[in-house]
Amino acid sequence: MLEKILILLCLSSALAEQPCKPDASDGYKVRLSIKTALGDEAYVWNENEMFLFRATLAFAMRSHLNGQEFDVSNIIVCDETPRVTFWFVVTSPLNTSGLVDKGVVEEAIRMSRNRINSAFLLTDKTLEFIGITPTLTAPVNPDTPPWLIVFGVVMGAVGAGIIVVLVSPLVLKKRKKNEETDEDEEETGVKAVENGSTREGVYNMSFSDDERLTQM
């Protein structure tokens, strides 16, 4: 009888010591790449940082499951490597021997991913939860494509240029013609009376300076 109790006690204590192990069904592997992210300003990974991680994760669980008061002790960590990777599992505050479901943990992490990242000055790529893919940010799609705006500006300028180039010689010619006709009306008015000829059609400027008699 005593032996059975002893065996039961050993088994239960053994079970209680092993909720967290690599490839645990309800656990996740975390990989941090601090030197890659921060270069010279990288901090050293130590017990204090690990405490912060557990606290942040407890925060994430609390935010997701409102009401349940997760504590740092509910986050169990194991199998740390020099690479800075480790496995963690989350125990429920209501039932210390029971693990929180994998799916629930994933949702909690997704919701607070940004906060977890910024607590460690890392990004989705340098603080990896193996198995939880980061949500992709869609590229920004403005309503009017910017290229249409530039196209409109260029075409407007070109159109204005064409109009200016086509119209300006006509305007100049008209202005010159008005000046010329004003001058010649004074000059040749008498001559017109002399010859008795009426001016008809378009005034031909090539003849305006020539004498009446053609030179051979």
Partner 1 sequence: MKLKLPNPGLDDRIPSHGDLERMEKEEAGDRPKWDNKAQYLLTCVGFCVGLGNVWRFPYLCQSHGGGAFMIPFLILLVLEGIPLLHLEFAIGQRLRKGSVGVWRSISPYLTGVGIASMLVSFLVGMYYNTIMAWIMWYLFNSFQDPLPWSQCPLNANRTGLVEECARSSTVDYFWYRETLNTSTAIDEAGGLQWWMVLSLVAAWTLLYVCSIRGIETTGKAVYITSTLPYLVLTIFLVRGLTLKGSIDGIKFLFTPDVNELMNPSTWLDAGAQVFYSFSLAFGGLISFSSYNSIHNNCEQDAVLISIINGCTSVYSATVIYSIIGFRATQKFDDCMGNNIWKLMNAFDYPENNITDSNYNEVLAHLNQTNPEIIQGLELQTCDLQSFLSQGVEGTGLAFIVFTEAIIKMPVSPLWAVLFFVMLFCLGLSTMFGNIEGVVVPLQDLRLLPRTWPKEVFCGLTCLISLALGLIFTLRSGNYWLALFDNFAGSIPLLVIGFCEMFAVIYIYGIDRFNKDIEFMIGHKPNIFWQVTWRVVSPLIMIFILIFYFVTQISKSLTYLVWDQESENFPTLEARPHPSWINVMIFILAGVPSLAIPVFALFKFIQNKCCKKDHNDFTVDTISAKIQMSDKMKL
Q: Which is nearer to partner 1, 5 or 136 (CB)?
A: 136
For partner 1, which is the closer residue by CB, 1 or 166? 166
Q: How far is the CB of 216 from partner 1 (least distance, A)?
A: 9
> Which CB atom, from 136 or from 193, has the smaller least distance to partner 1?
136
| Phi, psi torsion values for 71, nearest 5 degrees | -125, 170
Q: How many whole angstroms separate alpha carbon 125 and alpha carbon 116? A: 13
Tell me if 79 sits within 8 A of 87, measured CB to CB. yes
Establish if 168 lies at the interface with partner 1 (CB under 8 A): no
Of 53-61, 106-114, 153-161, 178-186, which part binds partner 1 (CB under 8 A)? 153-161
Residue window 72-101: x/- pattern of binding to partner 1, with contact defined by CB under 8 A: ---------xxxxx----------------
- Whichever of 16 and 130 has its CB closer to partner 1, that residue is 130
Give me the helix-helix angle, 102-111 and 47-64, nearest 10°: 100
Q: Contacting partner 1 (CB under 8 A), which of 25, 144, 147, 197?
A: 147
Cα 20 from Cα 196, distance rounded (Å): 122
Q: How far is it, in rounded angstroms, from Cα 183 to Cα 199?
A: 15
Cα(97)–Cα(95) distance, integer angstroms: 6
Q: Is residue 31 at the binding interface for partner 1, with CB under 8 A as the rule?
A: yes
H helix or E strand, kind and range, residue 87: strand 85-90
- Of the candidates 35, 102, 110, 113, which one interacts with partner 1 according to CB under 8 A? 35
| Residue placing its CB nearer to partner 1 in the complex, 95 or 215 | 215
Beta-strand (E) ranges in 117-184? 127-130
**Smallest distance, partner 1 to C-beta of residue 39, A:** 10
Q: Hunting for tokens 């100049």 — which residue is that?
A: 172
Angle at 156 between CA 152 and CA 162, to 5 degrees: 145
Judged by CB under 8 A, the stretch of 11-19, 46-54, 93-101, 139-147 that binds partner 1 is 139-147
User: Helix or strand or coil: residue 29?
Assistant: strand
Q: Is 167 in the site for partner 1 (CB under 8 A)?
A: no
Q: Which of 8, 16, 158, 172 is close enough to bind partner 1 by CB under 8 A?
A: 158
At 121, the amino acid letter reads L
Residues near partner 1, by CB under 8 A: 31, 33-36, 81-85, 136, 138-139, 146-151, 154-155, 158-159, 161-162, 165-166, 206, 210, 214-215
